[in-house]
Amino acid sequence: MQLPLSIQSFLQEPYALSQEQIDFYNQNRFIKLKQVFNIETLQFFNEAISNRVNQMNTVTVSLEERSTYGKAFLQLFNLWREDAIVKELIFSKRLAKIAADLLQTDGVRIYHDQALFKEGGGGITPWHADQYYWPLDTDKTVTAWMPLQATPLSMGPVEFSAGSHLVVEGRDLEIGDESEAAMQQKLRVTDFTHVIEPFDAGEISFHSGWVFHRAGANTTEQMRKVMTIIYMDKNMRLKNPENKNQIHDWNTWCPGAAVGEIINTPLNPVVYSRVL
């Protein structure tokens, strides 16, 4: 495959955010944005990412035999290092500038990317907060959650507990049955709004590392295809890991980074920087 010039150009075009949208993100720590992708770009990367996932996927166990987490999705990491075409999307200025604007930083670098393909009949993605896994010094992180097709509720789009980055309870839970049960109970007795909405074609969401989110089951027969990019402040520093998962992430996603220093490794390139 070759990247058409029209898509190459589109990925450099800025997506304008209003102050109202930035304020909404700051308050709720998530936002859904329509028409971030046009149909040509969406369809092209649906095919390109699907091809790469098919090549990288090693899961052969049936859905019935998997754990709750295993039933949630097929999960493939750092496609940008495996596929030059997919790298064009991961490194795109259009997406990275949105991330920097929402985080209100001078620039962003990649933490890592991941494809999350929820098979037809796939189960729920339990309540969790991503930053439990990350050995990062601040919460200046944001994940772009990009469905590669229109995603009705029946396919299990991501759901958010708006403003739940303020909840401290549950931050020490791995994603799984325990986090689903505990946070379902905790969030039920708070005033945080549980946002469950479909995604239009080309619509994507951004959420911060400490906001709690989940996804429903895919009750259709189609694959729910999603690509994600985790961005962090370009000046993010590595902290002392607080659990075994953070040690794993240090070794996997920012190997060679030193505690207390800016995470500037070959796996964590700056993808957007403001001209000052």
165 DSSP 8-state letter: G
Domain-located, residue 147: yes
Element (H, E) at 96: helix 93-103
Residues contacting 271, CB < 8 A, separation 6+: 90, 91, 92, 93, 96, 108, 109, 110, 231
Which domain CATH number covers 219? 2.60.120.620
Round the average pLDDT of the chain to a whole number and report it: 94
**pTM beyond cutoff 0.85:** yes
Domain-located, residue 8: no
Q: Which residue do the tokens 């379902």 mark?
A: 184
- For residue 72, pLDDT over 70 is answered with no
Domain-located, residue 34: yes
Q: Which residue do the tokens 């295809």 mark?
A: 225
**Residue 182 burial (CB < 10 Å; 0-12/13-18/19+)?**
middle
pLDDT in tens, 174-198: 888 888 998 888 888 688 999 999 9
User: If pLDDT is split at 50, 70 and 90, which confidence band does 275 have?
Assistant: confident
Q: How many domains does the chain have?
A: 1
Residue 101 dihedral angles phi and psi, to the nearest 5°: -65, -40
Integer Cα distance of 69 and 40 in angstroms: 33
Domain-located, residue 109: yes
Domain-located, residue 62: no
Spatial contact of 144 and 207, defined as CB atoms under 8 Å apart: no
Residue 33: give the domain boundaries: 28-57+71-268
Domain-located, residue 261: yes
pLDDT in tens, 201-249: 999 999 999 999 999 999 999 999 999 999 999 999 999 999 999 999 9
Q: Which residue do the tokens 């990350």 mark?
A: 134
Domain-located, residue 41: yes
Domain-located, residue 9: no
